[in-house]
Structure 1
Amino acid sequence: MKRLIPLAAFLLFPLLAHAETVNCRVVGVHDGDTLTCLTSQKKQLKVRLAEIDTPESKQPYGTRAQQALSGMVFGKDVRLEVQDTDRYGRKVARVYQDKTDVNAEQVKSGSAWVYRQYLKDKSLLALEADAKAAKRGLWALPESERMPPWEWRKADRDKRQDKREASATYTPPAKSKEEGSEFNCSTLKRCNAMSSCAEAKYQLQQCGNTKIDGNRDGIPCEALCKQ
């Protein structure tokens, strides 16, 4: 039995080492699931609310979700139970304002979906089902306007990628010199002022410069075009 106690403590240590609680004051609310807070050491932290996902600002109910979060936390002291740090450097956390579980409240009020890909607390699913049944918040919107934000972001990325690929794929064909793209009719030239047969043909055919086809055989500047 004595050998089991140190082993149990050793197995528990990694869990304790990774647990992080942070107290801070909210100084900014960016959308329905992202905020900035300031610690007592004057360190700013960008925080992503864990396990939930709210409509993007351009989606229906995006502004309302931001307002719901702001009403609960802006200018107030909160406690972060940090779960992770995401690829953008944000703390991913459950947020508590006094006794209020802010993440759960966003789901309960119909301001957020449960983010199933990162779900740990399955009790959030019951809150979402209850909000949906009661048509609270975003669940009062027509079904066509209730696209989950992770699907909306993917569709937006795909759309932008298609535009980039379309613009990169099409390259207008370069005009050859024979097409006369570098010539113009601003001046009717003599043969000795032209650099090529192509230019002479352009002057005759496009500009009507018949003086360079003295024998009217359709071949201008024969010294250039019969070389």
Structure 2
Amino acid sequence: MKTLIVGLGLSVVVSVPTLAAQVVSVGDGDTLTVVENGQNITIRLACIDAPESSQPGGIASTNRLKQLVAVGTIVSIETVDRDRYGRTVGVVSKGNLNINLTMVQEGQAVVYHKYLSNCPNSQAYINAQKQARQRSLGFWNITNAVMPWDWRKGVRNNQPTNANGTTRGNSVNNANLPACVNSDCDCSDFLTQSQAQQVLQAYPGDPHRLDRDQDGVACESLP
């Protein structure tokens, strides 16, 4: 793949490394190992973050990636970056199927907003996540889901964050929340937007789907 950059009157062609390799193992929902020219290479899937194996949804995410790129599968990898562990960060494709994007579309991984600036076609990932959330697929069907980056920090449903990884603040005492949180809330259960916002802040992952456009504001039509 080649990218044309034009600046200061000069045209520069920058080559983005792409390699074809065979899958030898899958570590979790966003990591796999391939062999290329006799060398094992660990690949961290770019643009996405999958639930950790120890958290709800983690095993399902790992199993789905194993189905998509079973051992022996030939894949192509568009290198995007290299992480602090020395792993290749890239977009993995099987034929015309973008594996990274597919994991988000199916709710088996979330968009990694922190590193999205390096992600090719980032808007496609954002749109895919919105649809997966609306359909409560995979990770988005987990009650009180914790974002993978928070889980790695030891957060366990007490420091909710927005989908872009920014902290929303301390969780709200359930005693101060409406009874609908014990089943399923929607915007019609609240008299004011501030009441809906309390529930959104108390439940990371927005299991009640009060923030449809994922801007961190619940039920914006309410007074």
Give the TM bin, normalised by the shorter chain. 0.5 to 0.7
Structure 1 partner of 2:60:
64
Matched letter for residue 123 of structure 1: A
- Cα displacement (A) at 1:8: 2.6
Give a deviation string over 1:165-212, Cα, whole Å, max 9, x none: xxxxxxxxxxxxxxxxxxxxxxxxxxxxxxxxxxxxxxxxxxxxxxxx
Structure 2 partner of 1:123:
124
Q: Which of these two proteins has the greater Rg computed from alpha carbons?
A: 1
Structure 1 partner of 2:39:
43
Structure 2 partner of 1:24:
21
Matched letter for residue 131 of structure 2: D
Structure 2 partner of 1:93:
90
Aligned counterparts of 1:87 and 1:127: Cα–Cα separation in 2: 27
Give the SS at the match of 1:128. Answer: helix
Give the SS at the match of 1:70. Answer: helix
Structure 2 partner of 1:73:
69
Give the SS at the match of 1:155. Answer: coil
Give a deviation string over 1:19-60, Cα, whole Å, max 9, x none: 100100000000000000011x11110000001000001000
Aligned counterparts of 2:9 and 2:127: Cα–Cα separation in 1: 37
Give the SS at the match of 2:153. Answer: helix
Structure 2 partner of 1:150:
149
Cα RMSD (Å) of the superposition?
Answer: 1.8
Give the SS at the match of 2:78. Answer: strand
Matched letter for residue 55 of structure 1: P
- Cα displacement (A) at 1:7: 5.3
Give a deviation string over 1:94-138, Cα, whole Å, max 9, x none: 000111100000000000010000113122011001011011111
Higher helix share: 1
Give the SS at the match of 1:122. Answer: helix
Matched, 1:53 2:52: no
Aligned residue pairs, count: 145
Give the SS at the match of 1:118. Answer: helix
Structure 2 unaligned segments of length 5 or more: list them. Answer: 1-5, 156-223
Aligned counterparts of 1:117 and 1:106: Cα–Cα separation in 2: 18
Matched letter for residue 129 of structure 1: K
Equivalent residues in 2 for 1:97-112 (5 A)?
A: 97-112=94-109
Aligned counterparts of 1:140 and 1:154: Cα–Cα separation in 2: 22
Structure 2 partner of 1:133:
134
Structure 2 partner of 1:220:
none
Of all paired residues, the percent bearing the same amino acid is 35
Aligned counterparts of 2:93 and 2:84: Cα–Cα separation in 1: 23
Structure 1 unaligned segments of length 5 or more: list them. Answer: 157-227
